[in-house]
Amino acid sequence: MTSKQKTAIVTGGLSGMGCAIAKRLADDGATVIVGARSGGDDAKVRTALGDHYGTIHAAPLDVCSSDSVNAFVAQVADDHGGVDILINAAGVYDEAAIIDHPDQIWLDQIDTNLSGTFRMIRAVMPHMRAAGWGRIVNLASVAAHNGMANNAAYCASKAGLLGLGRCVSLEGAAHGVTCVSISPTWVETEMLTQFIEADMATTGQSREQVRADYAKSNPQNQLVQPEEVAELAAFLVSDAARALTMEDYQVNAGSLW
C-alpha cells in the first residue's frame, strides 16, 4: 500500500475471494467499503467480516443496476474524498448446455459478471482520473481462457472481462490508472462448497472424496485458497504495480481449469 491511505471498493466482498481481498486491503491500511446485495444485512455482514467487522464498511449494492452503482460510488466518493481502488469480485455461476439454453441464465451471468464490472468501472473512472491515480482489478477466471461444456454463459462473461480490461487500461494509462484481471482455477470458497455438496448428493461420495477430486484438477493437487488470491491483489493495487496494466494473471496451480 502507499503512504497515503487509499479508499477501496470491493464488490461481492462478503464472501469468497472478494471478502479475502477486502480483509487483506484493510490490513494494509486502506479504507475498505464492501458492496453487496446483502450489504444492508448487519447479521450477515458481521458473520462474513468476523474480526474485521467495524473496520470494513459495508453497504447494499446491485451491480446489475446503474442507479445502484452510481449512487454507491457517489456516496463513497463523498464520504472519503474519492475512490482509489476498485476490486470487481461480484459474480454468479450457473450451468446450461447450448441446446435449449435458457435466456435467463445467459442474461444473468453476462449482466452480473461482465456488465456489472463495466458499470462499476464507468462510475469510478472519473474519480481516479481526477486524482491521477487508480487501480482496478477484475476477478476473471481460467474460464476466460478455456472452455468447458455446459458453461457457455460463464466462459463468455469472464472472457469479456479481458477485452474490457484492455480498453480500460488504454483509457487510464495517461492518468495513472491501471486495470488488470486475476484468473483463478478452483478456489476453496463458499461457491465451491456448494458444488462439492451437490456432487456428494449426486455421487454418494464423502466430502473428503469429492474435495480431493477437485484438488486433483491441478498438478499441485491442492485447492487454491482465497487468501492466496488476496495476496496477489494486494500487490497489484500497490504503487509498485504502476507498470502492470492490460494484463491477466492466472492463479491456476498449473491447471487448464
- Phi, psi of 117, deg, nearest 5: -65, -45
Alpha-carbon gap, residue 162 to 156, rounded angstroms: 10
- Exactly one of 53, 93, 154, 214 is catalytic; which is it? 154
> What angle, 0 to 180 degrees and rounded to 10, lies between the N-to-C axes of helices 190-203 and 207-215?
120
Q: How is residue 3 written as a grid cell?
A: 503512504
Q: How far apart are CA 31 and CA 17, in angstroms?
A: 18
Q: How far apart are CA 89 and CA 122, in angstroms?
A: 16
| 154 carries an active-site annotation | yes
Secondary structure (DSSP) of 98-156: STT--HHHHHHHIIIIIIHHHHHHHHHHHHHHHHT-EEEEEE--GGGTS--TTBHHHHH
> Residues with catalytic annotation?
154
